[in-house]
């Protein structure tokens, strides 16, 4: 079954304690991205990746890191989480076709609380 | 970069009525416009999309229209049902494959 898998689904952590949210897709998609969702702000892009070893900043990259060592995985790293990073996070992937043929497939979401 | 604006932020309709959600985008190079539905506590899911070489697309009760000259596109839901209640997001993707989302519209369909 085609899917994007995020882990963990829920996480409560303390300020400053490094954490990683994993994202994996089994569709051989080139493009992967991370979004955070906050009430009234919709989905804001954090980072995206066009392919292996290629990453770029989105709209709100401050406080986050990503890596793309393999095509299927795109982890989101918070080196020193702060309470303003409390949010719902979504990973997404899509095939990189020009013109684009398909929208993004989303993971289940990770609800992060930083206290 | 691309900027997408979505209106209204909330919309309440009576069951059976139509609902229209509108989005504008800034980058004239954008060429793909998907719409996502997000039910409470769930992930966004693609419900319909349109490419820039098409003006209108319909799938049962859902239709999307695109006006490239004016840089706006709209979602139309006819004969609304309570299960249509959700948050709807529009998005625009440019040639660099980067997707930008609108802020979302919370649709409530009253029985």
Q: Residue B101 and residue A44: Cβ atoms within 8 Å?
A: yes
Count chain A–chain B contacts defined by CB atoms under 8 A. 64
pLDDT in tens, B28-42: 888 889 999 999 889
Q: Do A106 and B44 touch (CB under 8 A)?
A: yes
For chain B, what is the mean pLDDT?
Answer: 92
**Which positions ≥6 away from B67 have C-beta within 8 Å?**
B55, B73
Report the alpha-carbon distance of residue B13 to residue B9 in Å, rounded. 13
Which chain B positions have a beta carbon within 8 Å of A59's beta carbon? Answer: 100
Q: Would the CB atoms of B103 and A42 count as touching at under 8 Å?
A: yes
Distance from CA of B107 to the nearest CA of A (A): 14
- Is the pLDDT at A98 greater than 60, yes or no? no
**B9: number of CA atoms within 13 Å, CB side?**
5
Q: Do B45 and A106 touch (CB under 8 A)?
A: yes
Q: Give the nearest partner residue to A48 out of B42, B45, B98, using CB atoms.
A: B98
Q: Is the dihedral of CA A101, B55, B18, B13 positive or negative?
A: positive
pLDDT at position A99 is 46
Max distance between CA atoms of chain A, in angstroms, equals 43
Chain A partners within 8 Å of B32 (Cβ): 99-100, 103
If phi > 0 it is left, if psi is from -120 to 50 it is alpha, else beta; for residue A88 that is beta
The neighbour count for residue A76, using CB atoms within 10 Å, is 22
Confidence of residue A64 (pLDDT cuts 50, 70, 90): very high
Q: Considering only residues 29 to 88 of chain B, which have any Cβ-Cβ distance to chain A shorter than 8 Å?
A: 31-32, 34, 36, 42-46, 49, 51-52
DSSP state of A107: -
Residue A20 has pLDDT above 50, yes or no: yes
Helix, strand, or coil (residue A91): strand
Q: A71 CB contacts (<8 Å, ≥6 apart)?
A: A28, A29, A30, A51, A52
Average pLDDT over residues B74-100: 90
B91-110 residue pLDDT tens: 998 766 678 899 999 999 99
Q: Pick from B34, B42, B100: which is nearest to A103 by CB?
A: B34
Cβ–Cβ < 8 Å for B31, B94: yes
Pick the closest to residue B77 from B96, B92, B58, B91 (CA basis): B58
Q: Which of B7, B41, B97 to mutate to test the interface with A (most CBs of A within 10 A)?
A: B97
- Give the integer Cα–Cα distance in Å for B91 and A54: 23
Measured CA to CA, the distance from residue A37 to residue A21 in angstroms comes to 15
């Amino acid at each position: 079954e085609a899917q994007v898998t995020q882990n963990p689904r829920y996480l409560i952590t303390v300020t400053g304690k490094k954490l990683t949210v994993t994202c994996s897709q089994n569709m051989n998609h080139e493009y992967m991205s991370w979004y955070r969702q906050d009430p009234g702000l919709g989905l804001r892009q954090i980072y995206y990746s066009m392919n292996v070893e290629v990453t770029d900043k989105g709209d709100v990259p401050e406080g986050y890191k990503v890596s793309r060592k393999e095509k299927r995985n795109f982890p989101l790293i918070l080196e020193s989480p702060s309470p303003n990073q409390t949010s719902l996070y979504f990973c997404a992937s899509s095939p990189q076709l020009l013109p684009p043929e398909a929208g993004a497939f989303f993971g289940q979401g990770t609800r992060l609380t930083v206290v | 970069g691309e900027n997408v604006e979505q209106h209204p932020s909330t919309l309440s309709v009576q069951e059976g009525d139509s609902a229209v959600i509108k989005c504008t985008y800034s980058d004239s190079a954008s060429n793909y416009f998907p719409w996502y539905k997000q039910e409470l506590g769930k992930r966004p899911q693609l419900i319909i999309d349109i490419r820039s070489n098409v003006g209108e697309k319909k799938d049962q009760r859902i239709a999307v229209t695109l006006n490239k000259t004016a840089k706006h596109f709209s979602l139309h839901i006819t004969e609304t049902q309570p299960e249509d209640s959700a948050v709807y997001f529009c998005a625009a993707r440019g040639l660099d494959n980067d997707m930008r989302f609108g802020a979302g519209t919370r649709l409530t369909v009253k029985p």
